[in-house]
Amino acid sequence: MAKINLNWCKKQEKGISLVEPNTNLSEDYLKSAQETLLLLKDVHNKSNMWAATMKYYCEYFAVYSFLIRVGIKCEIHDCTIKLVELFEEQKMLPKGTFQRLDKDKGLRIDNQYYLKNLKVNIDFNDLSDFVLAMKNRISSITLEEIKKIRAMV
């Protein structure tokens, strides 16, 4: 297991920083993930660009909800994804979360910025299960786990 280096992310102005854990904001991000999932159902057959963007942000909001719940702020997506990799490695997030987010970020960039119009495969049951898994993880987190997570950053 390679050590995940967060040093660059910690040095950036909008990179990784510890903030007060925030249950209310965490819930708002989770609601945004759920809302994005609902909106995605209307868009997925109409636009690959918007489908890729919305799919990624549905996942991103769910993951960011976890980060805010434990008191981690990060406005650089690559750094958020590095955090996900670390927490997954430490079994604090479900297996496959890092790969899912990283892959769908790449698809979003290809379709949104490079207009590649690549097909977006969406399994709505899987995506809904992912958001639910993140919600369950957030609701089951203990104070001890939050302290351990924050100590890793």
Which of 1.20.1250.20, 1.20.120.330, 1.10.1060.10, 1.10.357.10 is the CATH number of 13-152? 1.20.120.330
Task: Report percent pLDDT > 70 for the chain.
Answer: 98
Mean pLDDT of 57-81: 98
Q: Where are the beta strands (DSSP E) in 19-139?
A: 72-73
Least Cα distance to 149 among 78, 64, 74, 91 occurs for 91
DSSP bridge pairs for 10: none
By CB neighbour count within 10 A (0-12 exposed, 13-18 middle, 19+ buried), where does 76 fall? Answer: middle
Domain ranges, ordered by start, for the chain: 13-152
Q: What are the CA-CA distances from residue 106 to residues 28, 30, 91, 100 (Å)?
A: 25, 22, 24, 10
Q: Which are the contacts of 72, defined by CB distance < 8 A and separation ≥ 6?
A: 16, 17, 18, 19, 83, 149, 150, 153
Q: What are the CA-CA distances from residue 97 to residues 25, 48, 59 (Å)?
A: 21, 22, 9
pLDDT per residue as tens digits for the range 110-146: 999 999 999 999 999 999 999 999 999 999 999 999 9
Mean pLDDT of 58-63: 98
Mean pLDDT of 70-86: 97
**Residue 7 carries which side chain, given as an amino acid letter?**
N
pLDDT per residue as tens digits for the range 9-23: 999 999 999 999 999
Band (pLDDT 50/70/90 cuts) for residue 3 is low
- Position 1 pLDDT exceeds 50: no
Cβ 26 vs Cβ 69: under 8 Å: yes
- Position 60 pLDDT exceeds 90: yes
